[in-house]
Amino acid sequence: MKGKCAVFIAALLIGMTAVSDYDPSGVSVVQTVSAASGVTVAVHTKEEIVEYYRTHPFSTSKKDEYASEPSLESPYSAGKLTDESVQNGLNALNFVRYVAGLDEVKIKEEYCTLTQAASLVNAMNGGISHFPERPSGLTDELYDTGCQGAGSSNLADGYSNVASSIIEGYMSDNYSSLIPIMGHRRWCLNPSMQYTGFGEVGRYGAMYAFDNFSGKTDVSGVCWPAQNMPVELCHDDYIWTYSRGKEVNGGSVKVKLTRKSDSKTWNLYSGSSEGDFYVNNDGYGRKGCIIFRPRNVSYSAGDVFDVNITGADTEINYTVTFFDMNNVQSEPEEPVKSEPEETVNGDIDGNGSVSTCDLIMIRKYIIGSDRSVSASAADINGDGSVDMKDFLAVKEILMQ
């Protein structure tokens, strides 16, 4: 569909998702925030998260650019994003993965080719689809590549750039048709993902999602919002997810969310009146995703929420602390300690060896005809003065 409308299509047991633009109200030493159970991801401090963003910056507003322009008319061409635009998108994806405590992913050019062709086909059709129809006149090769890319990627429509589609689109999934599954977010936060690729043609974009989708991982319990969570990534109707990594019985799971500042609680379960609640066991990244959204809540820097989940294979507890990235002081860098330079005793001119030149220079220093030499360098015996004793010391070194 066009414009602000979202498309969500499931294929087989693996989810393939698409999302369109929306306007959210706000838009990144491993340690444990508090005792957590059922969560095996790394927990990064606020300072580390801010530092990671500083060293991996990205913009959600700067328009992506092309190394080669796509063509929607004959001769057709998928085009190619610049390395800078691809890196901007990669930094955004790796930022949310870092906040979530997951490993970084890298770019694979093959995936960029697939997603660029998928974006071209969707642009020619004027809408996003994981099973796009063949545009009139498009070559078999481009169409087949586009279909392969569309069928294995998150798809976006209407975002300013790839980074925006990740931060404001895939990670939010704030549409009624998407909330019961949260497929985009789960693909972005798939622990076993190692590579991705990005494509964009006009308002249509794609992020390759199926890399190593069923790969083994020791990570379980991926939660978002994360345990240390930039409030800039959130808005008041934000969806919470916890991916167990194995099937979960939705009929028995209950979530208790407690805001520490006032002990306000939300009890969320199937049929709850205090918010939205879903459990999805399809293979969108990882199975066993517990999805919940409390009603009548807002999020501010300094808010702390305890999450308690019962009814799964184990009781799950973790704490989420929201913070403002602009109000976090980066840890001061340790001053670089320079190693003292090795010096050669008697080396007056500093060339690394002792020669007759050094003897001449110290003689000139003593008689006062040339004081350009450092006194500390000329004071060979270290008695605090430069005299004939130092001259004889240099002479003795030369004779050795």
Which H helix or E strand runs over 276?
strand 275-280
What's the pLDDT score for residue 218? 86
CA 146 to CA 114: how far, in whole Å?
6
**Helix, strand, or coil (residue 63):** coil
Domain boundaries, given as residue ranges, for the chain: 8-327, 356-399
Task: Tell me the sheet residues that pair with 156.
Answer: 19, 205
Confidence of residue 379 (pLDDT cuts 50, 70, 90): confident
What's the pLDDT score for residue 386? 76
Q: What percent of the chain has pLDDT over 70?
A: 82
What's the pLDDT score for residue 11? 30
Higher pLDDT, 336 or 334: 334
Query: For the segment 2-56, what is each residue's pLDDT rounded down to a tens digit?
Result: 332 333 222 322 344 466 553 333 333 334 344 589 899 999 999 999 999 999 9
**Helix, strand, or coil (residue 113):** helix
What's the pLDDT score for residue 383? 72
Pick the range with the lowest mean pLDDT from 24-38, 140-154, 187-201, 318-332. 24-38
Q: Which parts of 13-82 fold into alpha helices (H)?
A: 46-55
Best CA proximity match to 231, nearest among 323, 307, 330: 323
What's the pLDDT score for residue 188? 98
Task: Tell me the sheet residues that pair with 305.
Answer: 259, 320
Crossing angle of the two packed helices 109-125 and 140-150, in degrees rounded to 10: 100
371 pLDDT above the threshold of 70: no
Confidence of residue 372 (pLDDT cuts 50, 70, 90): low
Query: For the segment 257-270, what is each residue's pLDDT rounded down to a tens digit?
Result: 999 999 999 999 99
Q: Which residues contact 317 (CB under 8 A, 6 or more apart)?
A: 35, 36, 37, 38, 306, 307, 308, 309
339 pLDDT above the threshold of 70: no
* pTM of the predicted structure, to 2 decimals: 0.77
153 pLDDT above the threshold of 60: yes
What's the pLDDT score for residue 35? 59
What's the pLDDT score for residue 3? 32
Cis check for the bond before 132: say yes or no (omega within 30 of 0): no
Confidence of residue 274 (pLDDT cuts 50, 70, 90): very high
What's the pLDDT score for residue 22? 35
Pairing status of strand 80-81 against strand 66-68: antiparallel
396 pLDDT above the threshold of 80: no
> Mean pLDDT for the chain?
86
What's the pLDDT score for residue 369? 57
Query: For the segment 199-226, what is each residue's pLDDT rounded down to a tens digit?
Result: 999 999 999 999 998 888 888 899 999 9
What's the pLDDT score for residue 7? 32
What's the pLDDT score for residue 370? 60
Confidence of residue 381 (pLDDT cuts 50, 70, 90): confident
Query: For the segment 82-133, what is each residue's pLDDT rounded down to a tens digit?
Result: 999 999 999 999 999 999 999 999 999 999 999 999 999 999 999 999 999 9
Best CA proximity match to 167, nearest among 242, 113, 238: 238
